Chains A and B, each alone.
Chain A
Amino acid sequence: MELASLAFRTLRRHPLRSLLTALGIAVALTAFVLIRTIIGAWYSGVEASVKDRLIVRNAVSLVFYLPQSYQAQIEQIPGVELVGHGNWFGGKFRDEEMRFQQFAVDEHYVDIYSEYQTSPQERESWDKNRKGLLVGQSIADTYGVKPGDNLRLTGTIFPGDWDFEVSGVFKAQESGKDTRIMYFHYDYLNERNKAELGRQPDQVGFYVVRLKAGANVAEIAKAIDEKFANSFAETLTETETAFIQGFVSMSSGIIAALNAVSVVVVLIMLLVLSNTTLMSFRERYREFSVLNALGFSQRHLSLLVVGEAAVLSSAGFVLLLIALTPVFLLPAKSYLGELVNFFPVFRVSMSTLAFAVALAIGAALIAAFPPLLALRRMKVTDGLRLIH
């Protein structure tokens, strides 16, 4: 029997208290990990974005369009390799609110987002089919759609029923990419818009610019904006990362609140563990004196105190891993339900788990600190006197 084993055995003295403490730690750690994961999911778009890909939008607001004629002019700027454009469609599918992104795009746009991959046959099929639709793997999995299926969206920005034929399903090269996206031809949108709606035809929502290798991102962004300065539709060009960051920062209040909650959760965990550790030490003060009398040094006794806190923390961490098993093993839809629409990329990262381990260790050390101080002041005779 070693010190660690002794620490473990000691905790069996009050099994219910030890179990409740470990559960308290597990609940706190689980809450902490889930909050960090939610924040991570919030930022997943930022993390997955490409820093040297530029987004060009109307300088006034994203809701204002840009002329389609800008595309050729942007292509002329040195350092620019390819320019594509996209329009936010905002349609309903099966009478549901929009659960995925729908963009009317040109072929270049699909080429630029090369991290989304489809088979050459499916891509060719999409190129040739004016009503062709490329859907992300998540959508295909969620709604059970496959190439050849007909699909109807009901437009909200562009009213009416819009019929499509699924040409292909694309996957993300990396697991951190959201594939709840749908692409269809801008020409289909633009021509019907011109004929039936007359809602700013030949205009695009935004441009996506792929740069040549080694190009100076800042200089090109500046050159684009200067090119359209003093025009009726001035541009604001920024990296894709900054563009998505701008969306995320709209929710900065919520994220700050979540961060605050995660700190509170950690403090609660610390209080729970400290309470148990201190209570256990006080109850067993005489026992520590006896161990000291038998020859256990201050160092041994300190290790025992820290060991007991560490065993509780470790038990809490093991329970955390058990609690997170569904997150590791099952698809997000099964445990998030409808929330999966808000967090399409919901993964517990290794860094978050490492942080949780560090927290568990740190909590054990901090919780052991008051008993350690008392231990330093302890005299064998003080403890033994308690029995006389």
Chain B
Amino acid sequence: MNSATDTATSPAAHSALIVADRISKSYMRGTERLQVLDALSIQIEEGEFVALMGPSGSGKTTLLNLIAGFDTADAGSLIVAGSNLSSLSENELSKWRLNHVGFVFQFYNLLPVLSAQENVALPLMLFGMSAKERNERARFSLEVVGLGDRVKHLPSELSGGQEQRVAIARAIVTDPKLIVADEPTGDLDRASAEEVLALLKRLNTEFKKTIVMVTHDPAAASHASRIVRLDKGKLVG
């Protein structure tokens, strides 16, 4: 992908999409340094659906942010989709995210002035595609998530569950290997949450997407193929 790309070398890492080796992360809170991740190591294979669980402050969102390339670790090595994220600049990380990761947030984060189709097509602007091609791909993604009849609707005209499905369509429109989801059902009612989780499961099984999901909800975590628990910045199970 670029010169900073660094393929993991350990034998076990060859089939792994994510290899975190003793990564640490701390933040300053006032004058106090808060250790959020403490020499954490984890490996996630391609095609896995992993749920990250743990109490508040356990470091699960921080780990997700590092895996997604939103932030970089203070120490240790994190290789995702063949790239050593610590060695990438901000702009390189932006480009890397565009090519390798799709995001699903708790509060959808759709642009309110754009229709469902335009929101989904947004990342495709950066690939230099024609408007026609962008719209076709966005429409296909919306059909995958069951919203083929809502392409022209604004976010304000959709239910919470539908908004989250538009966000999922946006996450898959660039066909990334990895989808990270931060509490994707946290703002939804049970029925909508089940629809979203079923959709994520389908993306994992049918479209072979690797999914890493942060959740507090055991019911949501039950859809994952593996549950990883964190506490005080370390893996506990």
Chain A 14-44 residues near chain B, CB threshold 8 A: none
- Residue B95 CB within 8 A of the other chain: yes
| A387 with B106: CB separation less than 8 A | yes
- Residue A348 CB within 8 A of the other chain: no
A388 contacts which chain B residues (CB < 8 A)? 61, 106
A380 contacts which chain B residues (CB < 8 A)? 65, 70-71
- Residue A290 CB within 8 A of the other chain: yes
- Residue A63 CB within 8 A of the other chain: no
Assess A10 versus B122: contact at CB under 8 Å? Given A297-B94, A387-B106. no
Assess A1 versus B131: contact at CB under 8 Å? Given A294-B122, A296-B126. yes
| B103 with A387: CB separation less than 8 A | no
- Residue A131 CB within 8 A of the other chain: no
Q: Which of A1, A287, A381 contacts B71 (CB 8 A)?
A: A381
Q: Determine the residue in chain B with the shortest Cβ distance to A295.
A: B98
Q: Which of A286, A299, A384, A387 contacts B70 (CB 8 A)?
A: A384
| B112 with A381: CB separation less than 8 A | no
Assess A387 versus B94: contact at CB under 8 Å? Given A10-B113, A381-B65. no
Interface size on A, residues (CB 8 A): 27
| B125 with A2: CB separation less than 8 A | yes
| B71 with A293: CB separation less than 8 A | no
Chain B 1-25 residues near chain A, CB threshold 8 A: none
> CA of A9 to CA of B68 in the docked complex: distance in angstroms?
28
- Residue A222 CB within 8 A of the other chain: no
Shortest CB-to-CB span from A287 to chain B, Å, is 7
* Binary flags per residue of A287-306, CB closer than 8 Å to B gives 1, else 0: 10011111111111000000
Shortest CB-to-CB span from B14 to chain A, Å, is 27
- Residue A51 CB within 8 A of the other chain: no
A3 contacts which chain B residues (CB < 8 A)? 125
Shortest CB-to-CB span from A289 to chain B, Å, is 9
Assess A293 versus B91: contact at CB under 8 Å? Given A1-B121, A2-B125. no
- Residue A128 CB within 8 A of the other chain: no
- Residue B111 CB within 8 A of the other chain: yes
| A381 with B95: CB separation less than 8 A | no
| A297 with B103: CB separation less than 8 A | no
| B71 with A294: CB separation less than 8 A | no
- Residue B49 CB within 8 A of the other chain: no
| B121 with A294: CB separation less than 8 A | no
- Residue B140 CB within 8 A of the other chain: no
Shortest CB-to-CB span from A388 to chain B, Å, is 7
Shortest CB-to-CB span from B202 to chain A, Å, is 22
| B125 with A1: CB separation less than 8 A | yes
> CA of A380 to CA of B65 in the docked complex: distance in angstroms?
9
- Residue A379 CB within 8 A of the other chain: yes
* Binary flags per residue of B87-98, CB closer than 8 Å to A gives 1, else 0: 000110011011
| B91 with A294: CB separation less than 8 A | no
Q: Which of B61, B109, B118 contacts A290 (CB 8 A)?
A: B109
A296 contacts which chain B residues (CB < 8 A)? 94, 126
- Residue A333 CB within 8 A of the other chain: no
* Binary flags per residue of A365-388, CB closer than 8 Å to B gives 1, else 0: 000000000000001110010011
- Residue B40 CB within 8 A of the other chain: no
* Binary flags per residue of B78-108, CB closer than 8 Å to A gives 1, else 0: 0000000000001100110111000101110
- Residue B114 CB within 8 A of the other chain: yes
- Residue A212 CB within 8 A of the other chain: no
> CA of A6 to CA of B170 in the docked complex: distance in angstroms?
16
| A299 with B91: CB separation less than 8 A | yes
Assess A298 versus B71: contact at CB under 8 Å? Given A13-B112, A290-B109, A381-B65. no
- Residue B123 CB within 8 A of the other chain: yes
| A294 with B61: CB separation less than 8 A | no
Q: Which of A294, A295, A296 gathers the greatest number of chain B CB atoms within 10 Å?
A: A295
Residues on A close to B: CB < 8 A?
A: 1-3, 6, 9-10, 12-13, 286-287, 290-300, 379-381, 384, 387-388
Query: Can you list 13 A-B contacts (CB < 8 A)?
Result: A1-B114, A1-B134, A3-B125, A6-B114, A290-B109, A294-B122, A295-B94, A295-B97, A295-B123, A295-B126, A299-B91, A380-B70, A384-B65
Q: A10-B113, A293-B68 are in contact. List 20 more A-B contacts (CB 8 A).
A: A1-B122, A1-B131, A9-B114, A12-B113, A294-B170, A295-B94, A295-B123, A295-B174, A297-B90, A297-B91, A298-B94, A299-B91, A300-B126, A379-B70, A380-B71, A381-B70, A384-B70, A384-B182, A387-B107, A388-B61
Residues on B close to A: CB < 8 A?
A: 61, 65, 68, 70-71, 90-91, 94-95, 97-99, 103, 105-107, 109, 111-114, 118, 121-123, 125-126, 131, 134, 170, 174, 182
For the complex of A and B, the 3 pairs showing the least CB-CB separation, nearest first, are A295-B98, A380-B70, A297-B94
